[in-house]
Amino acid sequence: VKHPHSDSMYCPKCGQGLATTVPEGDLHERLVCLDCQFVHYLNPSPVAGVVPVRDDGKVLLIRRDIEPQRGLWQVPSGFVEMDESTEETAARELMEEAGLGLSGELQLLNVYTARWGLVVINYEGVAQGEASVEHEVSEVRWFAPAELPWTELAFQSTESALREWMRRRGLGTPEPWATAFEG
């Protein structure tokens, strides 16, 4: 699968084309500049999100208004910025995508690895305020555990987080996994 960074096939130091090879002393293939020996490391990008929970036990999901997976549901989440902690990213995305704040500390739910270049860190948090439809979102909705839309989830990372959230409450989840889209 195409890595999100694989378009940059030229050496950022000298501009020559990069070759794929295993550098001496390394165990993985890397993109290496055969001119100046620069090694262009590719590593996964971290994404952070939060399963927002209300005092009636419902959780909020957002419906995507952008591709990929437009029209399907996900946990509010996004890419971690350079100056953020993952908790700060999760809180910012919750506000940007659903207009919600948080009260109290975030609790780590799980970490999901998509092997094409993403690591998704999802928290659980107590939501504060009124949810609203924000940027790149077509709908926000509170779901009771029995109402969760397992067959309409956008990403395996969302399904993984919701399964862990259910497991901690002693609630069963569907078998097998419902979501095909790795990410």
Omega of the bond leading into 46 within 30 degrees of 0 (cis): no
> Please, which residue, 1 or 14, has the CB nearer to Zn ion?
14
Tell the smallest beta-carbon distance from residue 142 to Zn ion (Å): 53
> Please, which residue, 1 or 36, has the CB nearer to Zn ion?
36
Tell the smallest beta-carbon distance from residue 29 to Zn ion (Å): 17
Tell the smallest beta-carbon distance from residue 15 to Zn ion (Å): 7
Binding footprint of Zn ion on the chain (CB under 5 A): 11, 13-14, 16, 33, 35-36, 38
Long-range pairs for 174-182: beta carbons < 8 A, 24 or more residues apart: 174/150, 178/150, 178/151, 178/153, 179/150, 179/153, 179/154, 179/155, 181/68, 181/69, 181/154, 181/155, 181/156, 182/114, 182/115, 182/116, 182/155, 182/156
Tokens in use for 158?
A: 């969302």
> Please, which residue, 11 or 94, has the CB nearer to Zn ion?
11
> Please, which residue, 35 or 152, has the CB nearer to Zn ion?
35
Tell the smallest beta-carbon distance from residue 30 to Zn ion (Å): 13
